[in-house]
Amino acid sequence: MSHHIVSVQDLRFRYPDGALALDGVSFTLHHGESVGLVGANGAGKSTLLHHLAGVLLPQAGAVRVGDWPVTRSTLSQVRRSIGMVFQDADDQLFMPTIEEDVAFGPRNLGLPEPEVNERVADALARVGAAHLRKRASHRLSGGEKRAAAIAAVLAMGPSVLVMDEPSSNLDPAARRALIGQLRAFEHTRIVASHDLDLVLDVCERTIVLAEGKVVADGATRELLADDALLARARLERPLRLQGCPRCAAARVRA
Amino acid sequence: MSRIDAALAHLGSLDELAARDTPAARLDARAKVVATVAFVAVVASFGRLELFRLAPLALYPLALAALGDVPFRPLALRIALASPFALGVAALEPFLDRVTVFVLGGHAVTGGVLAFATILAKFALSLGAALVLVATTGFDAVCAALERLGAPRVLVAQLALTYRYLFVLADEAARTVRGYELRAPAGRPDLRTATALIGQLLVRALARAERVHAAMRCRGFDGRLRLRRSARPGGHDLAFALGVAALLVVARAVDVPRVLEGVLTGRGG
Amino acid sequence: MSDALVSPAVGGALWAAAAGTCAVAARRVERHGDERLVPLMGVLGAFVFACQMVNFAIPGTGSSGHLGGGLLLSILLGPDAALLALTSVLLVQALFFADGGLLALGCNVVNLGLFTSYLAYPLVFRPIAGAAPSRRRLIAACLAAGVVGLQLGAFGVVLETWASGISSLPFRSFVMLMLPIHLAIGVVEGVATAAVVLVVRRARPELAACAAGGGPRSLRSLRPVVVGLALAAVFTGGVGSWFASSRPDGLEWATAHAAQGEVAAQGGLHDVLARAQRAVALLPDYDFRAAAASEESAAPPRPAWPAPRVGTSVSGLLGAALTLALVALAIGGLRLLRRKSRPTR
């Protein structure tokens, strides 16, 4: 297995209604990296993530996941490596109970039932949701649903985690728990988020998208303090990097 | 609208009850489903005026509920709340059939009243059995059982997904209507407004269906929804099945109340 | 169609018909449908359920109604998938909301699902709408299909009620009442369906193909109808005759009423109207205030009824009470046992 877990080369994509979503995006994710993906609404973050998971196929350029190029014929292999957590947890929890949802992936992989059960228990434990096993999804809070969705993805044993706005609709406590989980994962992960403080906490590298193009790709702490860059991308500094109101000194946690 | 909200809330809580570890929950789901279907069929097979012969059948839903630690009062409330809407025409029976059937404590009981009571009893028994089934089995297990029992795969997948998204879409509908109400004169929307609202709901539903499909494919979906495979039936399940079968056969074949009465009056003198 | 109106024989026969039709539809969907259909069917089933919660005022009358959704499903999913989706909605409604009843479920699937998906949609909607209907054509097609579908459904209710022999509503009056009412309801359903399809078409033009096509096409789609009706006929013939012989009361009433033919009376008509309205489980929220008011004010002369068999009823009462007492005892004991063995919190 190559060390370049995910590589994207000159990716272009235009939606059926004519909107140009991605205009030549290129980058490479390395094994074990934790990368943030930031940008304004409509910059192309979700579209890019969908390409990584094979939900959309490139119209020009190429996406490689491990040894596989992402094409129609390699989709099943790609999906074993990539675990995507969608923005709306309700779209991802479609079985009557959490247990069935988390078991959905392993069952589709054709695993025997005892192993399916093991994976379900393991995945739920990793997100701290073991007590939700028998619950019905529509009765859960936003944070619980998010945790369950993550467990459902983890149960497939992916090597790369792709997350689209994971902290949206979470209350502060749930958000803090999520940050803890993300920091604990060893997977290669790419997290698209408006929550720049989360990105600062969780990702050492950040890619900035604007109008379908990569405008910056580097260390999170530097990028998110570059005011000119942020302004071009319609972003702001995360709260923690904004000046203290009293002494105007930037507060950066060690 | 509020009736449906309340019903949905109760339905949701039924699943929660099934998640606990009770003797009823441990029974094989297929056995419970078959038992419930047979039960409803037997209840339906009784005649228009055969109120009293229904009495022994109350044992099945009540026993299953007791074994499943299902609280009786919310269940009874649910049935009571649902009954006016289900009875419809039956409510007129007392007015239609005025022929006296028997006299009770000085009051004449007409066929109409008896028929009405019979319909009420049948309804309570059937709905009760269905609710207890979900409360002790959980909807997902019921779907899995249906599939194992031979129901078409697509229909079972359909049931599971519809059930799952019922609550989500009903919430959306409620919010949309509320959004309308807050900006509208009192009363219901006219046809044009309503179809606009429904159209929006539909567009959103279609978009959601696409996202769900994407999520399913990301987790390896290939067109076939795989549900849990239950363990092989054990001794308890067999005992349960035999017990229910015995109850149904006896209740149908023998006029139990009459027999009991014969015993009582025989003894009494 | 509600449980109160249908006899076990008719209910059972229609159940068999509905089950057979669903099995055929399911097999066709599994063989021809693509995998997108599964989540789409599920979500749209939930959608139909939810949109039945949106009540609107019907212009001209004082009543309200809601979209049934059968025709809409057929347009979006194709007849086979639409039948299955609608069946799942009816099943959930019958099981948990007591809308319609479990015994009458087969009847409802046939009246609301089968007639719309396999008769109104392919025979009325598709020919009028064609491949890519203009706005006018779409409205005309929906209108026609809505009316036809609901007329067939209403007629189905009348036939099933009459065959069951439980209610005292005379056939002719029932028909004369149900069909005109459902003509109006069909118009509303057709117009509403067309309006919704137009909204979707404008918002998501790539689904325009769906609006006209909706899945694999073949006019051999009539086969499920034939299968279903054949099953119903066989079942009714076999089971129905067995029931008829053991339950003379049902036939007694039917013949007695055919002989009397009394409902020409003014009061009787209102009475029948109110009863019919309440029997229309097709649209439970339609309320006809005028009818209700006149029902209260009229004093209809009641026809004489044939006497049911009296003998057995009285002696059952005491025994039933005794039975219930025994049951209560048993249940009480069970709960006590459970409470003892439950782990304390």
pLDDT of residue A12: 92
Average pLDDT over residues A117-131: 92
- The residue in chain A having the minimum alpha-carbon distance to the alpha carbon of residue B158 is A95
CB A145 within 8 A of CB A89: yes
Higher pLDDT, C242 or B166: B166
- The residue in chain A having the minimum alpha-carbon distance to the alpha carbon of residue C38 is A94
Q: What percent of chain A has pLDDT over 90?
A: 40
Express each pLDDT in C85-96 by its tens digit: 999 999 888 777
Measure CB to CB from residue A79 to each of B163, B168, B220 and give the nearest one.
B220
- The residue in chain B having the minimum alpha-carbon distance to the alpha carbon of residue C76 is B206
pLDDT of residue A219: 93
Residues of B in contact with C319 (CB under 8 A): 52, 55, 255-262, 264
Alpha helices in B52-190 (DSSP H): 59-67, 72-87, 93-96, 111-137, 139-148, 153-181
**For all residues of chain B together, what is the average pLDDT?**
81
B contact chains, 3+ CB pairs < 8 A: A, C
Residues of C in contact with A16 (CB under 8 A): 206
CB A86 within 8 A of CB B215: yes
Nearest chain A Cα distance for residue C1, angstroms = 29
Contact call for C47 and B205, based on CB within 8 A:
yes
Higher pLDDT, B132 or C298: B132
Where is average pLDDT lowest: A246-250, B174-178, C212-216? C212-216
Contact call for B55 and C327, based on CB within 8 A:
yes
Residue A241 Cα to chain centre, angstroms? 23
Contact call for C42 and B165, based on CB within 8 A:
yes
Give the model's confidence band at C338: pLDDT under 50 very low, under 70 low, under 90 confident, else very high: confident
pLDDT of residue C245: 39
What is the CB-side half-sphere exposure of residue C45 using CA atoms within 13 A? 33
Where is average pLDDT lowest: A98-102, A134-138, B34-38? A134-138
Measure CB to CB from residue A16 to each of C39, C42, C206 and give the nearest one.
C206
Nearest chain A Cα distance for residue C204, angstroms = 10
Q: Note which residues in 165-184 of chain B have CB less than 8 A from chain C.
A: 165-166, 168-170, 172-174, 176-177
Q: Say if residue C146's pLDDT is above 60.
A: yes
Residue C168 Cα to chain centre, angstroms? 20
Higher pLDDT, A55 or C243: A55
Tell whether B208 is within 8 A of chain C (Cβ): yes
Structure-block tokens of residue A141 = 């809070």
Nearest chain A Cα distance for residue C225, angstroms = 32
Contact call for C42 and A16, based on CB within 8 A:
no
pLDDT of residue A121: 94
Contact call for C319 and B261, based on CB within 8 A:
yes
Query: What letter does residue C115 receive in the DSSP assignment?
Result: I
Give the model's confidence band at C309: pLDDT under 50 very low, under 70 low, under 90 confident, else very high: very low
Measure CB to CB from residue B219 to each of A97, A104, A139 and give the nearest one.
A104
**For all residues of chain A together, what is the average pLDDT?**
88
Residue A12 Cα to chain centre, angstroms? 20
Measure CB to CB from residue B164 to each of A94, A99, A156 and give the nearest one.
A94
CA B191, CA C57: separation in Å to the nearest integer?
6
Express each pLDDT in B68-104 by its tens digit: 888 888 888 888 877 765 566 566 667 666 777 776 6
Q: Say if residue C262's pLDDT is above 70.
A: no
Whether CATH 1.10.1760.20 fits C3-341: yes
> For the residues of C54-65, what is the DSSP string, one character each?
--EEPTTSS-EE
Chosen from A94, A104, A138 to mutate, greatest number of chain C CBs within 10 A: A94
Task: Supply the pTM of this predicted model.
Answer: 0.77
pLDDT of residue C290: 35
Tell whether A150 is within 8 A of chain B (Cβ): no
Express each pLDDT in C23-61 by its tens digit: 999 999 888 877 788 889 999 999 998 888 788 877 776
Q: Say if residue C4's pLDDT is above 70.
A: no
Q: Say if residue C318's pLDDT is above 60.
A: yes
Strand A4-14, strand A60-65: pairing: antiparallel
Instruction: State the sign of the Cα–Cα–Cα–Cα dihedral C22, C28, C31, C36.
Output: negative
- Give the SS3 label for residue C166: coil
Tell whether B15 is within 8 A of chain A (Cβ): yes
Contact call for C39 and A16, based on CB within 8 A:
no
pLDDT of residue C285: 38
Q: Which of C139-143, C208-212, C281-285, C314-318 has the highest mean pLDDT?
A: C139-143
Nearest chain C Cα distance for residue B232, angstroms = 25
**Secondary structure in 3-state letters for C232-298:** HHHHHHHHHHHHHHHCHHHHHHHHHHHHHCCCCCHHHHHHHHHHHHHHCCCCCCCCCHHHHHHHHHC
Nearest chain A Cα distance for residue C206, angstroms = 9
Give the model's confidence band at A6: pLDDT under 50 very low, under 70 low, under 90 confident, else very high: very high
- The residue in chain A having the minimum alpha-carbon distance to the alpha carbon of residue C204 is A17
- The residue in chain A having the minimum alpha-carbon distance to the alpha carbon of residue B215 is A92
pLDDT of residue C282: 39
Q: What is the ipTM of this complex?
A: 0.82
Tell whether B227 is within 8 A of chain C (Cβ): no
- The residue in chain B having the minimum alpha-carbon distance to the alpha carbon of residue A114 is B229
Residues of B in contact with C89 (CB under 8 A): 162
CA C293, CA C249: separation in Å to the nearest integer?
33
Express each pLDDT in B92-150 by its tens digit: 667 666 777 776 666 777 777 787 888 788 888 888 888 898 889 888 888 888 888 88
Residues of A in contact with C42 (CB under 8 A): 94
**For residue A48, what is the enclosing H or E element?**
helix A45-53
Chosen from C40, C53, C160 to mutate, greatest number of chain B CBs within 10 A: C53
Tell whether A79 is within 8 A of chain B (Cβ): yes
**R_g over Cα of chain C:** 23
Residues of A in contact with C92 (CB under 8 A): none
What is the CB-side half-sphere exposure of residue C219 using CA atoms within 13 A? 6
pLDDT of residue C299: 37
Instruction: Give the list of residues 6+ apart from residue C208 with CB closer than 8 angstroms, or none.
Output: C132, C201
Measure CB to CB from residue B257 to each of C198, C284, C322 and give the nearest one.
C322
Chosen from C24, C52, C55, C56 to mutate, greatest number of chain B CBs within 10 A: C56
Contact call for B209 and C40, based on CB within 8 A:
yes
CA B8, CA B40: separation in Å to the nearest integer?
23
Angle between the C171-203 and C135-164 helix axes, to the nearest 10 degrees? 150
Give the model's confidence band at A148: pLDDT under 50 very low, under 70 low, under 90 confident, else very high: very high
CA C85, CA B92: separation in Å to the nearest integer?
34
Contact call for C206 and A94, based on CB within 8 A:
no
Contact call for B66 and C314, based on CB within 8 A:
no
CB A98 within 8 A of CB B164: no
Tell whether A139 is within 8 A of chain B (Cβ): yes
Higher pLDDT, C240 or B209: B209
Contact call for B223 and C34, based on CB within 8 A:
yes
Contact call for C39 and A94, based on CB within 8 A:
yes
Structure-block tokens of residue B238 = 């067999």
Give the model's confidence band at A245: pLDDT under 50 very low, under 70 low, under 90 confident, else very high: low
Give the model's confidence band at C293: pLDDT under 50 very low, under 70 low, under 90 confident, else very high: very low
A contact chains, 3+ CB pairs < 8 A: B, C
Q: Note which residues in 227-256 of chain B have CB less than 8 A from chain A.
A: 227-229
pLDDT of residue A250: 54
- Going from N- to C-terminal start, the domains of chain B cover 20-137+232-269
Phi/psi zone of residue C198: left (φ > 0), alpha (ψ -120 to 50 degrees), beta? alpha
Residues of A in contact with C39 (CB under 8 A): 94
Average pLDDT over residues C249-253: 39
- The residue in chain A having the minimum alpha-carbon distance to the alpha carbon of residue C206 is A16
pLDDT of residue C291: 38
Q: Dihedrals φ, ψ of B68, to 5°?
A: -105, 10
Phi/psi zone of residue A3: left (φ > 0), alpha (ψ -120 to 50 degrees), beta? alpha
CA B261, CA C144: separation in Å to the nearest integer?
60
Structure-block tokens of residue C125 = 């909607």
Burial B219-240 (b: 16+ CB within 10 A, else e): bbbebebbbbebeeeeeebeeb
Q: Which of A6-20, B89-103, B254-268 has the highest mean pLDDT?
A: A6-20
CA A129, CA A170: separation in Å to the nearest integer?
15
Nearest chain A Cα distance for residue C70, angstroms = 24
Measure CB to CB from residue C99 to each of B53, B85, B261 and give the nearest one.
B85
pLDDT of residue A239: 86
pLDDT of residue A248: 58
Q: Dihedrals φ, ψ of A250, to 5°?
A: -70, 135
Residues of C in contact with B219 (CB under 8 A): none
pLDDT of residue C47: 92
